[in-house]
Chain A
Amino acid sequence: MEGVLTGLMGGLAIVFTPMGFFYVALGTILGISVGAIPGLSGAMLIALTLPLTYYMPATDAIVLLIGMYVGSITGGLITATLLRMPGTPSNVMTTFDGYPMARAGKPGRALGLGIAASFAGGIISWWFLLLLAKPLSIWATRFGPFEYFTLILMAMVLIASVSQGSLVKGLIAGLLGMLVSMPGIDPSSGMPRLTFDQHQMTSGLKLLPVLIGVFAVSQIISDVLDIGRKIERVESAKSGIMIKARDWWRYGGNMLRSGLIGTLVGILPGVGASIGSVIAYTTAKNVSKTPEQFGKGSEEGIVASETANNATVGGALIPLIAMGIPGSVIDAILIGALMIHSIQPGPTLFITNPDVVYAMIAACLIGNIIMLAVMTGSVNWVAKLAYIPRTYLLPIIIVCCVIGAFGLDNVMFDVWVMLVFGVIGFLLERARYPLGPFVIGFVLAPLMESKLRTGLMMTAGSITPIFTRPIAATFLVIAIVLLVWPLIGEWRRRRAEAAGVAG
């Protein structure tokens, strides 16, 4: 514990340097602003900012991106409440009660509760991040290649099974991400693989152009489709934004419960803020004395949703820091950011780059405090960003995407890759394939394959340790259960439906 506190002090010292604080504040404010603009997301902002961080010191780059992560989750609250449009997917549940409350003449109160709940969620999960990341990383250092292989296998199945849409589509998206990561020089044999004799392909498809394509370009194409949609809006109000001490007391239990749910969901690899807020909202409704108010402007509903979605941020950083496994899509991009700065994510991160780890943890705390101050003080101003005409904004973002993809290595091939994946991402989304598994598959597949091949080299080609080593076998069993459980559920549902029809 003493080591953790010393490390945290070091992290805070980094964040409180003039540049460190500037970057956290800038990141948080940009994150809030982007979150407040419907159609733009934190993943898009972070992917586009990544090329600008190449020349920055690693700690400055990471604290900037963490600030964006914290800010973007919260910024979506504003449009969810005032426009009934979730700024980010994780704010969907907030629209159910935030907008009715705003329509009922209490927009300030709805925003105030959401801001307070977001702060509470961020701080609850931050404590878990501080206390759990290091012990978990120490435990993960015991993992051999087979444990790592089965852990990633379990993570992939988990991501696919809990993603929105069908399990099969989640699996396909994850597998496609894995396949797309495979072209290039095979690290084990040193031979080109799936390059189709194209010299540009020997370095493989790089993370950044693929990410910008899948998250930014595809989103812009989708946004163009509903550019003319009429938006209902409620004007913001200053009154009620500062919530009172009795509200903290009244909703403390809800915040704690939803914060714990959000943190736990965040820890699960690849399960993002959307699912955290859905579970917390449903739980809050089930235990509420006034469940009939949910969906009609329930204060408890806003508190549950916003606490949980912000709590997933700290939760999702735990597996990233401890094991190098992304807890969410943005964490997958953060892994890419670490790699760009020559930092290898994984359980040894606490040993090799403790400054970066503790700067991330400190930035998460300070980002939440800045978020509370900025949102409370200027939510009415930030709300105006939602009204920027998208006809002007979207083409300018495309130009930013081109600069971002080109800036990686100064080659136009990356820009073409970005465009192709923009179209693929758009088509996948139209057919309701989740994009989260795609990105996480893309990031984790090289690690998964290398662990499998290292393991097989150690055992002369035998996969028996997967079944005989306790941790590896446990991960494998969980993966199988996660895969089979939804299928059984589907089969039982169909049988019940058939029985109903026959009856």
Chain B
Amino acid sequence: MNERIDPRVEIGVALMLILIASLALFGAKDLPPGRFEPLGSAPVPRAVAGMILLLSLWIIVRALIDKRPIATAAADRYLDAGAVLLLTLLFVAAMHYRLATFAILTTLYLTATIGFLVRFRRHQLPWVIGIAAATGFGFQYVFTRVFVVDLPGL
């Protein structure tokens, strides 16, 4: 593979890693030294976060100086992925705030998500709603009555 990743992706992900490592370094700065053992709880997270920081910087430098051609991305459906992610966030938030029962929220979520992915084609909508309701109410029955597991939601 003689093509490189889009440097924006490479640098963006490296920056995310630097942020995570910096958070860990910040969180570890006030940890006390060990009292009953020589090492204490701070050095290992500091060392690990420090190494992530250095290696991520190396990735950024390499992405900036690399002159190989950029790999062409396939015709991706980023909008679809973003929409599914957004709907999932709303679904989880609705369950977090217990806006309705698991069965109802799941039915709504699946109707919206599957419906979006099939572009709300009219002839498919009855199937979508049927499958969504069967899954939502079916899961609620199976998990609470058969497996006796608590479910999120009201």
- A172: Cβ under 8 A from any B Cβ: yes
The DSSP consensus for interface residues of chain B is helix
Report whether A52 and B39 are in contact in the complex, using a CB–CB cutoff of 8 Å: no
Query: Can you list, as one digit per residue, whether each of B11-54 has a CB less than 8 Å from chain A (1) or not (0)?
Result: 01110110011011001100110111111111011001101100
Rounded to whole angstroms, the CA-CA distance of A433 and B107 in the bound complex is: 35
Q: Check A402 against B91 for contact (C-beta < 8 Å).
A: yes
Cβ–Cβ contact B77 & A175, under 8 A: no
Say whether A453 contacts B37, CB under 8 Å. Answer: yes
Complex Cα spacing A399 to B35, Å: 46
Report if B125 contacts A (CB, 8 A).
no
Contact status of A225 and B150, CB under 8 A, knowing A415-B92, A431-B5: no
Name the distance in Å between B61's Cβ and chain A's nearest Cβ. Answer: 11
Task: Please name all residues of chain A whose beta carbon is closer than 8 Å to the beta carbon of B143 when the two chains form the complex.
Answer: 403
Bound together, the chains give a CA A253 to CA B120 distance in angstroms of 55
A452 CA to B38 CA in the complex, in Å? Answer: 11
* Minimal beta-carbon separation of B39 from chain A (angstroms): 5
Which A residues touch B41, using CB under 8 A? 186, 188-189, 191, 193
In the complex, are the beta carbons of B85 and A221 less than 8 A apart?
A: yes
Evaluate contact between B109 and A225: CB separation under 8 angstroms. Answer: no
A289 at the interface (CB under 8 A from B): no
In the complex the two chains form, is B110's CB within 8 Å of A395's CB? yes
A502 interface hit (Cβ, 8 Å): no
Q: At the interface, yes or no: A464 with Cβ under 8 Å from chain B?
A: no
Given contacts A176-B17, A182-B48, contact A453 B110 (CB under 8 A): no
Minimum CB–CB distance for B119 against chain A, Å: 9
Closest to A400 in B: B139
Whether the Cβ atoms of A179 and B21 lie closer than 8 Å is: yes
Complex CA–CA separation, A221 to B72 (angstroms): 19
Residues of A near B48 (CB, < 8 A) are: 175, 178-179, 182, 445
Determine if B129 is an interface residue (Cβ-Cβ < 8 Å).
no
Taking a contact as CB atoms under 8 Å apart, the answer to whether A427 and B13 are in contact is yes
CA distance A47 to B67 in the complex (A): 40
- Interface assignment of B101: CB less than 8 Å from any CB of chain A: no
User: In the complex, which residues of chain A have a beta carbon less than 8 angstroms from the beta carbon of B77?
Assistant: 224-228
Tell me if A473 is interfacial: C-beta within 8 Å of chain B: no
- Pick the contact of A179 from B49, B88, B128 — CB < 8 Å? B49
B24, A194: Cβ atoms closer than 8 Å: yes
Pick from A182, A396, A399, A453 the residue with the most CB of B within 10 Å.
Answer: A399
Contact between A396 and B55 (Cβ–Cβ < 8 Å)?
A: no
Q: In the complex the two chains form, is B78's CB within 8 Å of A457's CB?
A: no
- Contact: B49 with A392, CB < 8 Å? no
- Segment at the B interface, from A290-298, A336-344, A405-413: A405-413
Interface residues of A in 187-240 (CB under 8 A from B): 188-189, 191, 193-196, 220-221, 224-229
Q: Are A189 and B114 in contact (CB under 8 A)?
A: no
Q: Is the CB–CB distance between A461 and B135 below 8 Å?
A: no
Contact present for B84 and A224 (CB under 8 Å) = yes
A179 near B45: Cβ-Cβ < 8 Å: yes
Q: Could you tell me the distance between the alpha carbons of A168 and B113 in the complex, rounded to whole angstroms?
A: 37
User: How far is A446 from B47 in the complex, measured between Cα atoms in Å?
Assistant: 14
Within 275-334 of A, Cβ neighbours of B (below 8 Å) are at: none
Whether the Cβ atoms of B92 and A221 lie closer than 8 Å is no
Q: Which chain B positions have C-beta within 8 A of A432?
A: 5
Q: Say yes or no: A391 contacts B21, CB within 8 Å.
A: no
Q: Are B45 and A399 in contact (CB under 8 A)?
A: no
Q: Which residues of B contact A134 (CB under 8 A)?
A: none
Decide if A461 touches B88 in the complex (CB within 8 Å).
Answer: no
Cβ contacts under 8 Å, A457 to chain B? 36-38
Residues of B within 8 A of A183 (CB): 27
Among residues of A, the one whose C-beta sits closest to the C-beta of B128 is A392
Report how far A415 CA is from B78 CA in the complex, Å.
23
Residues on A with C-beta less than 8 A from B147 are 52, 55
Contact for A189 among B24, B35, B78, CB less than 8 A: B35
A residues 409-467 near B (Cβ < 8 Å) are 410, 412, 415-416, 419, 423-424, 427-428, 430-433, 445, 449, 452-453, 456-457, 460-461
CA distance A228 to B74 in the complex (A): 11
Query: Is A106's CB within 8 Å of the partner chain B?
Result: no
Residue-by-residue, is B68-108 near A (CB-CB < 8 Å gives 1, otherwise 0)? 00000010111011001100110110011000000000100
Interchain CA distance A51-B91 in the complex, whole Å: 21
B110 contacts A399, C-beta separation under 8 Å: yes
In the complex, which residue of chain B has the Cβ closest to the Cβ of A51? B149
Q: Whose C-beta in chain A lies nearest to the C-beta of B148? A: A55
Q: Knowing A169-B59, A172-B17, A431-B13, say if A225 contacts B78 (CB, 8 Å).
A: yes
A398 at interface (Cβ–Cβ under 8 A)?
yes
- A191 near B114 with CB under 8 A, answer no
> A402 contacts which chain B residues (CB < 8 A)?
91-92, 95, 152
Q: Is the CB of B59 within 8 A of A188?
A: no
When chains A and B are docked, how far (Å) is the Cα of A453 from the Cα of B36?
Answer: 11
Complex Cα distance, B14 from A461, in Å, reads: 34
Q: Tell me whether B28 and A427 are in contact (CB under 8 A).
A: no
Closest-by-CB residue of B relative to A185 is B41
Tell me the smallest distance from the CB of B120 to a CB of chain A, in Å: 12
For the complex, give the distance between the alpha carbons of A183 and B24 in Å.
Answer: 9
* Cα–Cα distance between A412 and B28 once the two chains are bound (Å): 26
A-B contact pairs, 15 of them (CB 8 A): A52-B147, A175-B48, A179-B52, A183-B27, A188-B34, A196-B27, A224-B117, A228-B77, A395-B114, A406-B150, A410-B150, A424-B16, A427-B12, A452-B44, A461-B38
8 shortest A-B CB distances, which residue pairs? A461-B38, A186-B41, A431-B13, A391-B117, A395-B113, A194-B27, A224-B81, A225-B76
